[in-house]
């Protein structure tokens, strides 16, 4: 490991940097209704810790839509959700950035750190949410829900991506300072 290599810091979005409010949930509910004609009311436990594609897949199962009928439907729902989110999220009144989040990102940018996003949001959804608060440009790369339905795969993908983009190799626990703040 090179002594000049920056530390790798991966940051989640919802519940870490921002509180997105109800607009994303409402947009997803609307997208599912518009494309299936069925209503679903999401509970926090259906959303927290899951990737956007998995949330939609699970919702379709809950609504009784057979798996064979889901082919392509997950992508169509997500695309419709993103169109709604891009229209509605910037003006949402119940979203907020957590106190100190921007200052933390500014501090990290001033340090020898490779700063990346790791989130279950699909990339365009993450962009929409972070851009609304001026936080998108702090990150040099990201790993998103479109990279894997299974959120547990995202850290491994992040290690591969940072190597591909910057030629930096990291292993879990490099530097002996591995922390998760979401548990």
Over range 160-175, report the average pLDDT: 86
- As a whole number of angstroms, the distance between CA 9 and CA 15 comes to 17
Least confident of 114-123, 136-145, 167-176: 167-176
Give the number of other CB atoms < 10 A from CB of residue 162. Answer: 21
Q: Are 35 and 80 in contact (CB under 8 A)?
A: yes
Categorize the per-residue pLDDT at 1 as very low, low, confident or very high, splitting at 50, 70 and 90: very low
Residue 148: Cβ-neighbour burial (10 angstroms; 0-12, 13-18, 19+): middle
What structural domains does the chain harbor?
Answer: 7-20+96-176 (3.40.50.1000), 23-91 (1.10.150)
| Tally of CA atoms within 13 A in the half-sphere of 175 that contains its CB | 15
pLDDT value of position 3 = 57
């Amino acid at each position: 490991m090179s002594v000049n290599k920056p530390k790798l810091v991966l940051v989640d979005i919802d519940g870490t940097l921002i509180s997105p409010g109800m607009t994303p949930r409402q947009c997803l509910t609307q997208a599912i209704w518009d494309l299936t004609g069925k209503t679903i009311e999401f509970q926090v436990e259906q959303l927290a810790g899951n990737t956007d594609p998995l949330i939609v897949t699970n919702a379709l199962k809950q609504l009784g839509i057979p798996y064979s009928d889901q082919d392509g439907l997950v992508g169509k729902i997500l695309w419709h959700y993103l169109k709604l989110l891009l229209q509605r999220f910037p003006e949402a009144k119940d979203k907020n950035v957590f106190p100190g989040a921007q200052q933390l990102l500014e501090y990290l940018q001033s340090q020898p750190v490779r700063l990346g996003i790791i989130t279950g949001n699909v990339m365009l959804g993450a962009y929409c949410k972070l851009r609304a608060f001026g936080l998108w440009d702090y990150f040099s790369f990201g790993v998103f829900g479109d990279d894997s339905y299974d959120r547990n795969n995202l850290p491994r993908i992040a290690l591969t991506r940072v190597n591909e983009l910057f030629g930096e190799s990291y292993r879990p626990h490099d530097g002996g300072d591995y922390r998760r703040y979401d548990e």
